[in-house]
Amino acid sequence: MDRSRMEWSRGKIIGEGSYAKIYLATPKTPNSEFPPLMAVKSATPINTRMLENEKRILTDLKGCPEIIQCYGDDITASKGNTFYNVFLEFAPDGDLLDLAVKKPIGETDVRRYTRSILRGLQYIHKKGYIHCDIKPQNILIFPTQDGKTDVKIADFGAAKRVGSGKSIKNFFGTIVYMSPESLVEKEHKPSCDIWALGCVVVEMVTRRNAWKLDTITKLASSEELPEIPSELSVHGKDFLEKCWQRDCSKRWTAEML
């Protein structure tokens, strides 16, 4: 994006993360390159590097329907402060956590959302990335033309690039969605995203975390697995068993699922 090509107005704040705040943004003049309403993620200079990394990753992943779209970036100044801004697709229906809090999600919808997340993860992994923070708050809800809703993966702030077959060792993500190898060995592979997806599925069905924080140590120190909801169909239970293989080499991939 040519940073001088769009004049825009900052609206109300709609979210805040560890390194950036998210606002509504509207172009000041109609522009076919940009939608009439966007989300803009803004960071101060101390956090700019993380947001620039997220923008680079989103640009590399551009074109996947199951991943939130990035429209470009710019730099602004206000009240003596400089901000790096990244323009993103706005999700009018919020995120998966918002939806689960409002009402139980039926298994038909759970399956549709899960298929979309899997397609997004398959694309992410084939491009050589690990999202590292798959959770309901990072799965955004969008209306579809048939009057239903579908989801897209967002927030690549913790995402990392790895070579084929390689893993990375560090501490990323949200603890209740972390796989055993992430917790114990601080090892991140694409299979970690699959474990997290299993946790997201449980949360969609039960409206509760698969693990409680006070029991997360059991995951790291024993062979215990999260409880599979009894209300799931046989197909749903089988899916979770494939996501929650403790041995990450036996865990199914996004493509296999």
Q: 10 Å Cβ neighbour count for 194?
A: 25
CA torsion, ordered 68, 71, 75, 80, to nearest 10 deg: -60
Per cent of the chain over pLDDT 70 is 89
Structure tokens at 213: 């924080």
Please say whether the beta carbons of 193 and 123 come within 8 A.
no
Kindly list the distances between the CA atom of residue 214 and the CA atoms of 175, 180, 207, 209, 255, in Å, as whole numbers in the listed order: 11, 15, 18, 12, 33
How many Å apart are CA 62 and CA 1, to the nearest integer? 13
d(CA 83, CA 75) in angstroms, rounded, equals 6
Q: What are phi and psi of 5, to 5 degrees?
A: -90, -15
Residue 148 annotated as lining a ligand binding site: no
> For the segment 76-113, what is each residue's pLDDT rounded down to a tens digit?
988 788 999 999 999 999 999 999 888 888 889 999 99
State the DSSP string of 44-110: -GGGHHHHHHHHHHHHHTTT-TTB--EEEEEEEEETTEEEEEEEEE--TT-BHHHHHHHSPPPHHHH
What confidence tens digit (pLDDT) does each residue in 187-218 have? 788 999 999 999 999 999 988 887 766 666 66
Q: What pLDDT, on a 0 to 100 scale, did the predictor assign at position 197?
A: 97
* Element (DSSP H or E) covering residue 129: strand 129-130
The reported pLDDT for the residue numbered 208 is: 84
Task: Delimit the domains of the chain by residue range.
Answer: 8-89, 96-243
- Homologous superfamily, domain 96-243: Transferase(Phosphotransferase) domain 1 (1.10.510.10)
> According to CATH, what is the number of the domain 8-89?
3.30.200.20
C-alpha span between 236 and 170 (Å, rounded): 31
The reported pTM is 0.89
- Residues recognised as catalytic: 133
Residues present in the chain in total: 257
Q: Can you list the residues of the chain whose pLDDT is less than 70?
A: 1-5, 163-173, 212-223
Q: Do residues 174 and 158 lie in contact, with contact meaning Cβ atoms separated by under 8 Å?
A: no
pLDDT at residue 166, rounded to an integer: 46
The tokens describing 64, both together, are 């996947």
pLDDT at 66: 97
